Every structure is written in structure tokens, then in C-alpha cells.
Amino acid sequence: MKKSVLKKYAELIAKTGINVQKGQDVIIRCDLDQPEFVKMVTEYCYKFGARKVTIEWSYQPLAKVHNKYCSVKTLATIEKWEEEKLKHNSLTLPALIWLDSEDPDGLKGMNEKKSAEAQRIRYPLIKPYRDAMENKYQWCIAAVPGKKWAKKVFPNLSVSQAMEKLWEAILYTSRVDENPIEAWKKHNEDLLHRCNYLNGLNLKSLTYKASNGTDFTVGLIENALFIGGGEETLGNKVYFNPNIPSEECFTTPKRGDIEGIVYSSKPLSYKGQLIENFWIKFEHGKVVDVHAEKNEHVLREMVSMDEGATMLGEVALIPYDSPISNLNILFYNTLFDENASCHLALGMGFPNCIKDFEKYSLEEIRQMGVNDSMIHVDFMIGTKDLSIVGTTKEGKQVQIFKDGNWAF
């Protein structure tokens, strides 16, 4: 891939993604796949005013090694230096960049129960710091190709060809054209227009139906808003884009208010393992049963992480006829596959979807019906015949999606 094109992408992540502020620290979390690109992003962060950029490298296969040899107690322990780091970040609020390149099957065969138990123990220790940072800092998830990920997406190509092809797909869906920063300004405006229309309907619930068996109704919080594209931090109101790419208009639904069954339309990569061809059944707002043709045990472990993992934290609307979907590429990566399809998320909801959320405490927002959980896992449900009908607070029915696409 041409260096000039990659520089545009790096600039986009630093400027439009996190919108780094003068004097702000930046943390980049990434695997070892694209060190030269990480260098480019680092340089642009400095050019836009970053005080210090810290790189947190990782190597996915090591997670399996640690899981194999460490006890649950050791995996769950928050070392003193880790706690100091969490405390430091909660006070200094660095911008965070995640560059995802992981192998979708990279943790296959790992002891998932051991990993989940360690996460359950660690989470209450980490949560106070995470809550302290909620909506106060910029973050952005973007992607770069990894060799095993590329070969998973393009198995019939050589490694070098697959890497180039995946680069092309990432850059196309991320709108890296002649002027990507301007392209994203326009894209954010388009998404805002959709969200404003949805917010003007005063919706009480959404009913989804598709020929694959999906048939459920989800309730919405009275003063929740649909959000799309960029977001603003609390306090200094810095505008940033948390996902590159992004095609969604999303909101946080009412905790414990969903009835029916939903069928997946794409595989779900969860903790390095693919869950395929699955359905989830809800009664009285909670998951009561699941089934998957592949890795059902991983799906069951996921929904048993905590009580909040059995309830929804997000509903997102993305047309079937969208740039990512039209590539007809199964990315095996949630960042891309979720933006090619309507999706739901189990687990934690989004406080910033509540109107004037900055006026309320986090506890008050939870009481309004925003779900809380140690997980937030998106899974794809959009199909070419998906119908979504909204019911307003006045009882009027409005067609939101027809044949998989916007009805307005």
C-alpha cells in the first residue's frame, strides 16, 4: 500500500478519530503487525499537539500462554503498578487509540471458563476507574491488517495479496480518499440528519421481523437519543469519532425490556473465537436461552458474565445497502461487520445516549434504564428483508426499516 495513502489514514485517526488536543497525552494500543503505521499515527498525534504518545504493544498468542500457565488468582490480580496506572489515566484523561489487527481464531482452544472467572474478579477493581473516565476522554477504534486476519478474510490469496486486499477494504470503508477529513465531516452530517429524524419521532419501542426467524420488540428509554458518527466529551466538549469506519445510528434501550427471539446474520468474533449461526431468546427482558452451531459454549459463557450480560445495552441501525455491506466481504471483525448490518449489543449501555446526560450522576442514569455490565458485545442481525417498525409514545406506528434499508 502506498505510503502517501497510509499517511492520510494515520492523519484521519489522529485528527478526526481522537481529535487530539494540544498538551494531551495519547495511548496507542496495538499488536505487532504494523509498526511502521503505528509510527505514522504517533507522528501525527505529535503534529496535532500531543504532549506524549505511549505505545502499549501486545501479542495475541501470549494471552493463551498466560491462560495456560497462570492460576485464576494470578490472572485476576491487579498489581500495584497497574492500579497506579489506572488512577493516573483517570486523572489525566489521555486519548486512546486501538488499532485492531487480531486473528479472529487466535484464542481458539483457550480455557474460556478460566479467563471469564478472572475477568469477573478483576472487573469490580477496575470499574471505579472506568466510571471516573466515562465520557470524559476521546477514544477511537480503527484497524490495520494482520497476516492471519487477512488470510481468514481472503483464504484463496497469498499472504501478501491478502494483506494488500485487506488494506484496500479498510481504507475504502474508512473513507480514505482525496480528502478523508472533509469526507468524514460530510458523513457525520448525514448521520446526524438521520438521528435527528429518529429523535423527532418520540419512539417508545422498536419491533424487528425477518424471514430467518427474527421476531422481537425492544423498549426504549423515554429521554434517550439516537447518536451517530461523532461524539463530544464532557467538560471541554471535544468532538471525536469513536469508530473508524462507522455507519450506525444507535441508542441505548431500556434495561430489561425486550421480548422475542433474534437470529444472527454474521459470525461473532468474541475473545478470539468465532460464534457462528446462533440465536438468542429473550423473555421479560433477559436472555433465557441461546443456541449456536459453532462455539455455543463460548456464547453461554458470554451471557453468564454477570446479570447485565443477559440484557441489551445497544440497538444500532445500519442499512443493508451500505458501503461495507456492498463489498460482500465477511471481515470476521466486529468493527467492520457491525457497520455492515443492523446490530444489537449485550451488556453495558451508553450513558451519553440520555438527553442532557451531563446533568445526571451515573447512578441516576442507571436508574433511568441504562444497562450496566462488565461486557459490551455487538452481534449482527441485519438481513436484506429486515423490517423495523417503531411505535411512538402516542401509539402511532412508523416504518423505520423496510427490506433491510431505511424507509425514510
- CATH number of the CATH domain containing 132: 3.40.1830.10
Containing structural domain, residue 341: 201-233+241-406
Residue 178 included in any domain: no
Judgement on whether residues 221 and 135 belong to the same structural domain of the protein: no
- Torsion sign over Cα 152, 153, 155, 159: negative
Burial class (CB in 10 A: 0-12, 13-18, 19+), 199: middle
Residue 94 included in any domain: yes
Enter the pTM of the model: 0.92
Q: What is the pLDDT of residues 82-100, one digit of tens each?
A: 999 999 999 999 999 999 9
Residue 301 included in any domain: yes
All three cell numbers of 379: 452481534
Residue 352 included in any domain: yes
Q: What is the pLDDT of residues 208-265, one digit of tens each?
A: 999 999 999 999 999 999 999 999 999 899 999 999 999 999 999 999 999 999 999 9
Judgement on whether residues 246 and 377 belong to the same structural domain of the protein: yes
> Rounded mean pLDDT of 329-337?
94
Judgement on whether residues 168 and 23 belong to the same structural domain of the protein: yes
Judgement on whether residues 55 and 125 belong to the same structural domain of the protein: yes
AA letter at 86: L
Judgement on whether residues 162 and 211 belong to the same structural domain of the protein: no
pLDDT at 177: 85
Judgement on whether residues 283 and 211 belong to the same structural domain of the protein: yes
All three cell numbers of 5: 495513502
Judgement on whether residues 279 and 167 belong to the same structural domain of the protein: no
Residue 181 included in any domain: no
Confidence of residue 178 (pLDDT cuts 50, 70, 90): confident
Which residues fall within 8 angstroms of residue 19, CB to CB, at 6 or more apart?
95, 138, 238, 239, 240, 241
Q: Are strands 249-251 and 405-406 parallel, antiparallel or unpaired?
A: unpaired
Structural domain count, the chain: 2
Judgement on whether residues 156 and 206 belong to the same structural domain of the protein: no
Judgement on whether residues 214 and 169 belong to the same structural domain of the protein: no
Judgement on whether residues 169 and 205 belong to the same structural domain of the protein: no
Residue 85 included in any domain: yes
| Percentage with pLDDT > 90 across the chain | 97
Average pLDDT of every residue of the chain: 96
Residue 122 included in any domain: yes
Give the whole-angstrom CA distance, residue 75 versus residue 114.
Answer: 9
Among the ranges given (1-5, 163-167, 204-208), the one the predictor scored with the smallest mean pLDDT: 1-5
Residue 302 included in any domain: yes
- Torsion sign over Cα 313, 319, 320, 324: negative
Q: How far is CA 329 from its chain centroid?
A: 18
SS3 28: strand
Judgement on whether residues 360 and 255 belong to the same structural domain of the protein: yes
**Cα 388 to Cα 383, 393, 407, distances in angstroms:** 11, 16, 9
